[in-house]
Amino acid sequence: MSCRQLSQFLSENLGDLKTKGLYNVIDPLQSANGPTIIIKGRELINLSSNNYLGLATDSRLKQSAVEAIQKYGVGAGAVRTINGTFELHLELEEKLAKFKRTEAAVAYQSGFNCNMAAISAVMDKNDAILSDELNHASIIDGCRLSKAKIIAYKHSDMDDLRMKAEQARNLGAYNKIMVITDGVFSMDGDIASLPEIVDIAEEFDLITYVDDAHGSGVLGEGAGTVKHFGLSGKVDFQIGTLSKAIGVVGGYVAGKQELIDWLKARSRPFLFSTSLSPADVAASIKAIDLLSNSTEQIRQLWENADYLKAGLKKLGFDIGNSQTPITPCILGDEIITQEFSRQLNAEGVYAKAIVFPTVPRGTGRIRNMPSASHTYQMLDTAIAVYAKVGRNLRVIH
Ligand code: PMP
């Protein structure tokens, strides 16, 4: 029998989410998460996945995963420090470090886990963290877990960051101070002002932490935002995920050897959660090998993104100021945004509506995620569907 208070809490809050239209409706896939997907028996052009380079369905990655399963089985069997570290994990970490131009790297079970692991392993209640107000939820949770004082600065506002860094330093109340930012912000596709952040960090002696979930495999010949700005060696923590451009699942921290040694000794998901499966690790190694030898898929990703952006812009849509392949189509009103997404779906295009509280009220949008594996024909079809739905809902003329 369920506790009455719990039942009341759940039914009231679930009801509230549903009446406000904030309850996530989940559409299970009946196919791979490729350039097209099958949902409820219908094939749709997929503009919603983070599979930037098409590697999630790449036959070479699949083959590596199959071979690893044949040799090692499906589960790692233990946490990293007991006997869940396979040679494969170390090979992946070595390759990630090379790929990111750092001394060392450590892999975790997800990008989300990385932020929980890394922030709390070095920051504590005597420290302060300067955090961009639009940072990802996993950064926010990682900061909270650390018990450090969290000081949010206005999104990419370097004057505000400088002022708050100076105040925090002058207060003299904190041991360590960290500045933490997404490399690429996932809702608008804008890139963090890393050169200025690194300057401010040098001036006020701040630890620098960049979560490059959306920059790795996309910017800086794949090495990410830090390399894109020529700042290799100047950022203490580089976080990446294996689940977006790399196409698999997992996350990693790349940095100095000493930092990685500390994370392997002290970060809790490394010590207390079963390690990445051999298949995930083997497929990730293959992805890093491919990206280290060719930037062709990255070039194709950018070309496809430019093509989609140009098509939507020509139709008169507001596509914001993205500096990366992330292509928002900003519609404003939440109800119109939801209806727009529903009509796209009815016409064969899967692109989710993103509304408050994920983005500010009145800035509802469809977030399009073009990938290297879309064909021009698919993109043309998607643009034509946008035109039809846009005119139907009188968003464009
Ligand atoms: N950080 C950022 C900036 C992200 O966008 C995401 C993915 N939504 C994550 C971390 C979490 O990564 P993962 O999906 O690998 O847990």
| 190-220 confidence digits (pLDDT tens) | 999 999 999 999 999 999 999 999 999 999 9
Closest among 194, 210, 191, 192 to 202, alpha carbons compared: 194
Query: Which tokens is 149 given?
Result: 């004082």
CA distance 235 to 342: 42
Q: What kind and span of H or E run contains 79?
A: none
Task: Tell me, in angstroms, the distance from the centre of ligand 1 to residue 197's CA.
Answer: 21
Only one residue has tokens 């589960």, namely 75
Reported pTM: 0.96
Tell me: the pLDDT tens digits for 363-374?
999 999 999 999
pLDDT over 70 at 389, yes or no: yes
Query: Which ligand 1 atom is at minimum distance from the Cα of 242?
Result: 15
Residue 367 to residues 189, 351, 389, Cα–Cα distance (Å): 10, 7, 15
Amino acid at 36: T
The CA 218 to ligand 1 mean position distance, Å, reads 15
Contact in structure between 335 and 29 (CB atoms under 8 Å):
no
Q: State both tokens at 207.
A: 């630890």
Query: Residues with Cβ < 8 Å from 271, sequence gap 6 or more?
Result: 79, 80, 81
pLDDT digits (tens, 9 = 90+) for 268-295: 999 999 999 999 999 999 999 999 999 9
Cα(248) to ligand 1 centroid in Å equals: 13
Taking Cα atoms as reference points, which of 221, 218, 281, 207 lies closest to residue 251? 281
The hierarchical CATH code for the domain 22-51+295-393 is: 3.90.1150.10
Structure confidence at residue 357 (pLDDT): 84
- Range 127-132 average pLDDT: 98
Contact 135, 180 (CB under 8 A): yes
The C-alpha atoms of residue 75 and residue 90 are separated, in whole angstroms, by: 17
Active site (catalytic) residues: 186, 214, 244
Look at strands 104-108 and 42-46 and give their pairing.
Answer: unpaired
The pLDDT score that the predictor gives to residue 124 is: 98
- Between the alpha carbon of residue 154 and those of residues 303, 317, 330, the distances in Å are 32, 27, 21
The three-class DSSP label of residue 152 is: strand
| Cα(95)–Cα(337) distance, integer angstroms | 42
**Predicted pLDDT at 1:** 59
| Distance in Å, CA 129 to ligand 1 centroid | 19
Q: Is the pLDDT of residue 21 over 80?
A: no
Q: Which residue's C-alpha comes closest to atom 15 of ligand 1?
A: 111
What residues pair up with 330 in beta bridges, in sequence order? Answer: 318, 365
Q: Can you tell me the distance from the alpha carbon of 68 to that of 315, in angstroms, rounded to the nearest whole number? A: 47
Q: How many residues does the chain have?
A: 397
Q: Whose CA is nearest to atom 1 of ligand 1?
A: 213
The predicted pLDDT at position 23 comes to 81
Q: What is the mean pLDDT of residues 153-181?
A: 97
Mutate to test the pocket of ligand 1, among 133, 136, 155 (most ligand atoms within 8 A of CB): 136
Examine the pLDDT at 2 and tell me if it is beyond 90.
no
User: Predicted ipTM?
Assistant: 0.99
Q: Where are the domains of the chain?
A: 22-51+295-393, 57-293
> Pairing mode, if any, of strands 36-39 and 42-46?
antiparallel
Pocket of ligand 1 (CB under 6 A): 110-112, 136, 138, 182, 186, 211, 213-214, 241, 243, 251
Report the share of the chain in percent with pLDDT over 90: 94
Q: Which ligand 1 atom is at minimum distance from the Cα of 182? A: 3
CA 343 to chain centre: 27
Q: Which CATH number fits domain 57-293: 3.40.50.300, 3.40.640.10, 3.40.50.1820, 3.30.460.80?
A: 3.40.640.10
| 102: amino acid identity, one letter | T
Atom in ligand 1 nearest the alpha carbon of residue 183: 3
Average pLDDT, the chain: 96
